[in-house]
Amino acid sequence: MPVDPYNLIDKAKRYYAFSKIELRWLLVSILVMAFIVGFNDGRDKFELQFWLANFLIALIAVAIAVLAHETAHRVTGLEQGYKTTYKPFFYGLIAGLILSFMSYGKIIFLAYGGVFINIIEKHRVGYFRYQLGYFHLGAVSLMGPVANMVVAIFFKAVPILPQPLSDKIVLVNILFALTNMLPLPVLDGIQVLFASRWLYFLSYGAMIGITIFMLKGFTWWVVVLGSILAALIFWLGYYFVIEKKL
């Protein structure tokens, strides 16, 4: 069915807002991940002013990534008749800090939370009324990483901000997409995998292809073709290694 923009705007006005608990944990998550991203400022010697400047850039980049990620979850969920709720992934944040310290900031792991959805019953009357649509859960979860990839592509193609900030936004959003598509508990990837194994391997393959070809500086049509090729390779690999044996 086509999207009704007036209905979607009405639902967004009523259900988009984050609760105080969500905002509190989102702020904590942003600060922790900004520290992880900005831990290594690329200098051999620690200088507070340069480290703080790098941390500020990381903070802006992480905030943009989180806003894009959570907004995609919210809007997609509302369009399907669900209210989404953010839940932090404590172990992911702790793991990110540990890896950052152990690698001196060379390993950036940004697994910060997941999405839970609840049916808005009065908007679902007569269609999937009293049970959760698992494919819809996967679709809502997938839109978070997809939004991050779109943001990365935009700032890579349209450098409207200073280069250090644009480069950091691109890197952070790519890492957001790839990390949150991992099939780990709470993260988006596990929801997509349970919804559709085919969709999971196709989408993850495409994201990896976009990352490789975009960061190598290829033109947009090469990036598109590369993403399609990577998606097919992942899909075929999954089919012959796993699905065919099942």
Q: How far apart are CA 200 and CA 231, in angstroms?
A: 10
Name residue 46's amino acid.
Answer: F
Q: Are residues 181 and 239 in the same domain?
A: no
Q: Are residues 128 and 64 in the same domain?
A: yes
Q: Are residues 155 and 215 in the same domain?
A: no
Q: Are residues 62 and 170 in the same domain?
A: yes
Phi first, then psi, for residue 184 (nearest 5°) are -110, 155
Given a contact cutoff of 8 angstroms between Cβ atoms, the answer to whether 56 and 77 are in contact is no
220-240 per-position pLDDT tens digit: 888 889 899 999 998 888 888
Q: Which residue has the higher pLDDT, 131 or 94?
A: 94
Q: Are residues 139 and 214 in the same domain?
A: no
- Domain that includes residue 78, residue range: 5-195
Q: Are residues 22 and 102 in the same domain?
A: yes
115-160 per-position pLDDT tens digit: 888 777 655 545 545 556 677 788 889 999 999 999 999 998 887 8
Segment 19-30 mean pLDDT: 93
99-108 per-position pLDDT tens digit: 999 998 899 9
Q: Are residues 140 and 159 in the same domain?
A: yes
pLDDT at 32 over 90: yes
161-219 per-position pLDDT tens digit: 888 899 999 999 999 999 999 998 889 999 999 888 889 999 999 999 999 998 888 88
pLDDT band at 95 (very low <50, low <70, confident <90, very high): very high
Q: Are residues 88 and 170 in the same domain?
A: yes
In sequence order, what DSSP letters do the residues of 143-193 get, joined into one string?
A: HHHHHHHHHHHHHHH---S-HHHHHHHHHHHHHHHHHHTS--TTSHHHHHH
Per DSSP, the three-state class of 117 is: strand
